[in-house]
Amino acid sequence: MALLQIAEPGQSAKPHQRKLAVGIDLGTTHSLVATVRSGRAETLADSKGTHLLPSVVRYRADELPQVGTKALQHLVDDAANTIMSVKRLMGRGLQDVTRLGEQMPYIFEACESGMPMLRTAAGLKSPVQVSADILRVLAQRGEASLGGDLVGAVITVPAYFDDAQRQATKDAATLSGIQVLRLLNEPTAAAVAYGLDNEQESTIAVFDLGGGTFDISILRMQKGVFEVLSTGGDSALGGDDFDHAIANWVCDQRNIQNLELAQQRFLLRQARQAKEQLSDTAVTTITFADWPETSCPADIELTREQLNSLLDPVIAKTLRATKKALRDAGMTIDDINQVVMVGGSTRVIRVQEKVAALFGRPPLTSIDPDRVVALGAARQADVLVGNQTGDEMLLLDVLPLSLGLETMGGLVEKVIDRNTPIPVARAQEFTTYQDGQVAMAIHVLQGERDLVQDCRSLARFELRGIPPMAAGAAKVRVTFQVDADGLLEVGARELTSGVATTVQVKPSYGLSENEIADMIKASWSNVDADRGARSLREQQVEADRLLASITIAMEADGERLLNENERQAIIKQMETLIVARNGDDHHAIAKQIDILAKATDTFAGRRMDDSIKRALAGKAVDNI
């Protein structure tokens, strides 16, 4: 006998079916994906049982990229095409990576958005594309482990990531096909993983030292509510700096100079091994048996005491940032109840000793520091997709840097201060500088300095249509809205007339919408060539439509409203579009459509003015 399927009206026919969501820790040296199953958060392994995915991508000509362990094996023999520590480049401009040049020996080129592009055997690759390749593998691992398509993912970012770096992370997720439920600060995720949300009241310091980023966050937990009181750190400081300090010491000891890429990678690998071995032993030997050159330097011993002296300057930077975060939160060392250690670099004994000495208590290290962030992100993802009520876990993050506007004299007027809890909306009124001013240029900035030149430009836009008034009479209200991911929208409204404009801030060095679309189309063509043909046809249809409408307009009014030079300029652009339309490059067609549309803007305006004049001709003003 068959059973009837019964469900409450308006509810799911499968009320107990869980939605598949994951938490992703997109790390500098390693990345992980985790989920909640049977009420327990756990990281997901690949087919070989490995949980950690090296954040390394190797590009080859006309082949799919290698990601993870396979790519890691080619750091020495194919260094130029094997990209690691790409997280350090996220959201940065070409000039920003100059100081990392010695540590990241890649060939960089600029692109339209100012993002540094890496030259590889597979062509130019942006940090966003490299990160997307890593995220794609993690998402595939999640779907294979859970047996279905993912609803979405919570992706963690360093708490000190600015708006451009957060947007770049979202761009990477979009490119990889992942629906981002939320960007979550890594220290906040770690606190959730430790279950500190179950305590009634506590103040927590989360010390997060990964491979390439350092974050320190001061969190307050009250009745199940996490509030980030302050954040600090450095998005270009981490365990990689330990490795470079050891490698530089080896070069000094053995007078090694002018290293090739393969030699640099070899030294960094040996330095990393020595650092890890000295967590369990007092002395280790750095060998050159596999040195990528016929003449090998002599092996060298490294003691734990020598290692400590090499690491102390780097650790000191983290302790200074920790003290500053405490001051920003209005706290002292005595106010901290728990210290949570996060990130693989906190396994270094010297780091644990220094942190324990600073806070006067041993830090929490019971959860694998490499997995703790992913586990917390998985718990938050489980809440956001509705598998849990989430009533016991409310996360209030803060802005890492102040947001403001440029005012006269090149000064910055802060609208939202750093460490303000988000989401948040703030408004401030400004006025005009000159009599009769009918437009206002608005420059959005991020940073703590007083001068525009010392802060980061996020966006520029204009408010037009302001009624002519005496200087200072107009009232322009500018509103900043920051969502839970830390992404910004800015709007401006003139209060007397009501004219308004809004911009979704797309930071410098994030991808433009066109670049994202182009990359997605490129990835489609690798899977299904028909999609490329579809795009070509769509652009050809659009080109035909535009050419037909301009031809009709030229026949009707071209000789009357345009001079000979203007007519010939438009005809030339039409002929160029016809050539592109008959080709097979839909990008070229789209570009020429835009050029032709702009070339005819003036003609369209004259036709509209002429039409209005003819419509009103012979009519009295009172009858209009």
Give the CA distances from residue 144 to residues 28, 33, 46, 149, in Å, rounded to whole numbers and listed in that order: 24, 12, 9, 9
Q: Which of 105-109, 334-338, 506-510 has the lowest mean pLDDT?
A: 506-510
Chain-wide mean pLDDT for the chain? 83
pLDDT exceeding 70 applies to what percent of the chain? Answer: 85
Q: Are 458 and 163 in contact (CB under 8 A)?
A: yes
In sequence order, what are the beta bridge partners of 228? 219
CA–centroid distance for 161 within its chain? 8
Query: Class for domain 528-615, per CATH?
Result: mainly alpha
3-class SS letters over 54-84: ECEEECCCCCCCEECHHHHCCCCCCHHHEEE
What's the token pair of residue 121?
């055997």
344 bridge partner residues:
none
- Give, as one character, the DSSP assignment of residue 287: -
What residues act catalytically? 25, 87, 186, 208
Share of the chain above pLDDT 90, in %: 32
* 100 pLDDT tier (thresholds 50, 70, 90): low
Which H helix or E strand runs over 325?
helix 304-328
Indicate the pTM of the whole model: 0.64
Left, alpha or beta for 486 (phi > 0: left; psi -120 to 50: alpha)? Answer: left
Task: Please check the confidence at residue 364 and state whether its pLDDT lies above 70.
Answer: yes
The CATH T-level fold of domain 399-504 is: Substrate Binding Domain Of DNAk; Chain A, domain 1 (2.60.34)
Q: Give me the pLDDT at residue 5, please.
A: 42
Per-residue DSSP letter, 18: P
| Residue matched to tokens 């005496």 | 470
pLDDT on residue 508: 55
Q: What is the CATH number of domain 21-237+314-395?
A: 3.30.420.40
pLDDT, tens digit, 9 for 90 and up, residues 257-314: 888 878 888 899 999 999 999 988 999 999 988 888 778 888 999 999 999 999 999 9
298, exposed or middle or buried, with CB in 10 Å at 0-12, 13-18, 19+?
exposed
List the domain boundaries for the chain. 21-237+314-395, 399-504, 528-615
What's the rounded Cα separation, in Å, for the pair 231 and 219?
A: 9
Q: Of the ranges 186-195, 333-342, 510-519, which is most confident? A: 333-342
The residues, any chain, with a CB within 8 Å of residue 11's CB and separated by 6 or more, are none
**Distance of alpha carbon 359 from alpha carbon 365, whole angstroms:** 15
410-460, pLDDT tens digit by residue? 778 889 887 787 788 898 888 876 777 888 888 888 877 777 777 778 888
Question: How does DSSP assign 29-56, residue by residue?
Answer: SEEEEEEEETTEEEEPP-TTS---EESE
* pLDDT score at 533: 56
Q: Is the pLDDT of residue 527 over 90?
A: no
Q: Report which listed range, 11-15, 35-39, 221-225, 359-363, is most confident.
A: 359-363
Q: Which is more confident, 532 or 342?
A: 342
Which of residues 311 and 201 earns the better pLDDT score?
311
